[in-house]
Chain A
Amino acid sequence: GQQLNQSPQSMFIQEGEDVSMNCTSSSIFNTWLWYKQDPGEGPVLLIALYKAGELTSNGRLTAQFGITRKDSFLNISASIPSDVGIYFCAGPLPNFGNEKLTFGTGTRLTIIP
């Protein structure tokens, strides 16, 4: 099936460091989404990207929709303890209907005090 590959799979960083993660696909997306999942909870939308090349910020988070429409990255600046969690990219695959979100494999972020 369709696959969204995220890298890295996991990150261990010091508090205050910047974080960068990305998501790639063999298929074109018209929308790229970044979700965060805290332990024991459901995913929460962080940033939505709707246009190739778009760069969008939400506080310390910045995400970009790749020009090829096959990739996206998420940056977190000056990480804090509450940034811990799993970050998923996601998107609705064209030809699979608007109602189905395909999620990436996830990047687990751990912050070392």
Chain B
Amino acid sequence: EPEVTQTPSHQVTQMGQEVILRCVPISNHLYFYWYRQILGQKVEFLVSFYNNEISEKSEIFDDQFSVERPDGSNFTLKIRSTKLEDSAMYFCASSDARGGADTGELFFGEGSRLTVL
């Protein structure tokens, strides 16, 4: 069964360092997302991406964050200068149609845990 895959599963980094989290969405999907879950809290929307550009972003997604689809398969989230409060589980998701969030048909990866020291 097709699935969203994420790497690394866990990354530990020093405050101020750059981090890149990688995702391979389901191959025929066109809409890509990053969500974040701070330990013990709810899942929060960060950004959605379609047609090689950001379609929507939250207030969490500030200038320290960027997303990219560098090739036909990968979708990356970069945090330029990590802060302690960036420690969280980051989930990539994809859907095959606009309104994927509207219908709930988002397929989530297993997440990348980021620990900032």
- Which residues of A are interface residues toward B (Cβ below 8 A)? 1, 30-31, 33, 35, 37, 40-45, 48, 50, 88, 90, 92, 96-106
Show the binding face of B for A, using Cβ within 8 Å. 4, 31, 33, 35, 41-45, 48, 50, 55-56, 58-59, 91, 93, 98-106, 108-111
Q: Which of A45, A50, A100 contacts B56 (CB 8 A)?
A: A100
**Chain A, residue nearest B4 (CB):** A42
CB distance from B84 to the nearest CB of A (A): 22
Q: Please, how many angstroms separate the alpha-carbon atoms of A69 and B44 in the complex?
A: 22
Chain A residues positioned under 8 Å from B108 (CB to CB): 42-44
Residues of B with C-beta under 8 A to A48 = 103-105
Distance of A33 Cα from B33 Cα, bound (Å): 17
Instruction: Return B9 CB to nearest CB of chain A, in Å.
Output: 9
Q: Write out the residue numbers on chain A whose beta carbons fall within 8 Å of the beta carbon of B93.
A: 42
Indicate if the CB atoms of A41 and B33 lie closer than 8 Å. Answer: no
CB-based closest 8 A-B pairs: A42-B108, A99-B48, A33-B104, A98-B102, A103-B43, A48-B104, A98-B99, A100-B45
